[in-house]
């Protein structure tokens, strides 16, 4: 599959911004399953400086600085990506979850490079706390000796079944504990909660940001289409990282476009920054995902 994606973000400030710095995660990440065919940024007004870089998790980023006064900012990213089919895998072929948990726990024996890298994604982070309540919620999906990938799929299906997708019911500051209590939210909430369940069980999981096709290849309407989307990637040796979308109750494949991954939303926010002045602001975001002819 090939897609054209247009992601526009517009800030209208209540006052003049004297100086600002911005960090953008708006360049699609290259991987074994995705190639970036083209990418451009349209910036209004033009920045004083712009620099391409790579963050601590290997994601491409853009750094912007504005040292001239402005009262609005529009950032439009346009990209073309090719999604490469993933080989069919048996979820039962991954190692037992409790065996992987033991490997990722602290011990004196040397770790493999893959295990050591995965450990970055098993600790608490700003938006994902480790709670016994999360482990208890996932407990019936993780019986002793169960394949890690199959257990993760069970957890994904449980969250999709028991939580209600309700835009506007949460904000960026809503905690995962509050999401568990209310059983409602959006893709960001479900992703943070599933990651919390996995990490609280001693496993490694990372937050993936991107987009999802509006109408999936199976003909079903995707929840979160034409907007920024998020899902969970789980470390499942020996297959590596496998991606699960609890919002749409599916494994990630040709319908998803990946931007970046990190510990949680705070690591991969499409656009964040620091400004001097500006007052209150209005934010408008518009996303379009268009399949292209082969």
Mean local confidence (pLDDT), 6-21: 94
Indicate if the pLDDT at residue 194 is higher than 90.
Answer: yes
CA max distance for the chain: 60
Q: What is the pLDDT of residues 37-92, one digit of tens each?
A: 999 999 999 999 999 999 999 999 999 999 999 999 999 999 999 999 887 889 99
Cα(155)–Cα(251) distance, rounded to whole angstroms? 12
- Cα 252 from Cα 242, distance rounded (Å): 8
Domain ranges of the chain: 2-84+269-292, 91-252
Query: Which CATH topology does 2-84+269-292 take?
Result: Immunoglobulin-like (2.60.40)
The answer, yes or no, to whether residue 217 has pLDDT greater than 80, is no
Q: Measuring CA to CA, which residue among 187, 205, 89, 90 is closest to residue 138? A: 205
What is the mean pLDDT of the segment spanning 111-117? 92
More confident site: 222 or 6: 6
pTM (two decimals): 0.94
pLDDT at site 219: 61
**Res 173: pLDDT:** 84
Report the C-alpha dihedral over residues 71, 65, 22, 29, rounded to 10 degrees. 130
The CATH code of the domain at 91-252 is: 3.10.620.30
């Amino acid at each position: 599959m090939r897609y054209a994606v247009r992601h526009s973000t517009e800030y209208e400030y209540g006052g003049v911004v004297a100086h600002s710095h911005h960090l953008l995660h708006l360049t699609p990440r290259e991987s074994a399953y995705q190639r970036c065919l083209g990418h451009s940024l349209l910036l209004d007004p033009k920045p004083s400086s712009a620099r391409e870089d790579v963050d601590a998790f290997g994601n491409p980023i853009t750094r912007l600085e504005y040292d001239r006064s402005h009262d609005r900012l529009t950032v439009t990213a346009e990209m073309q990506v090719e999604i490469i089919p993933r080989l069919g895998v048996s979820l039962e072929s991954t190692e037992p979850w409790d065996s992987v948990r033991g490997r990722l726990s602290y011990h004196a024996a040397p770790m493999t490079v893959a295990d050591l890298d995965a450990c970055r994604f098993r600790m608490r982070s700003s938006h994902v706390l480790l709670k016994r309540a999360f482990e208890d919620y996932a407990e019936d999906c993780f019986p002793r000796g169960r394949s890690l990938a199959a257990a993760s799929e069970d957890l994904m299906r449980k969250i999709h079944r028991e939580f209600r997708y309700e835009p506007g019911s949460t904000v960026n500051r809503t905690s995962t504990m509050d999401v568990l209590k209310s059983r409602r939210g959006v893709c960001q909430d479900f992703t943070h909660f599933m990651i919390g369940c996995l990490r609280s069980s001693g496993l490694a999981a990372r937050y993936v940001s991107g987009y999802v096709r509006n109408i999936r290849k199976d003909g079903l309407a995707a929840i979160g289409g034409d907007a920024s989307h998020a899902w969970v990637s789980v470390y499942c040796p020996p297959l590596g990282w496998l991606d699960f979308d609890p919002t749409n109750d599916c494994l990630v494949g040709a319908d998803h476009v990946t931007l970046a991954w990190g510990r949680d939303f705070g690591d991969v926010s499409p656009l964040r920054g620091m400004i001097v002045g500006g007052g209150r602001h209005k934010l408008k975001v518009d996303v379009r995902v268009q399949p292209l002819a082969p």
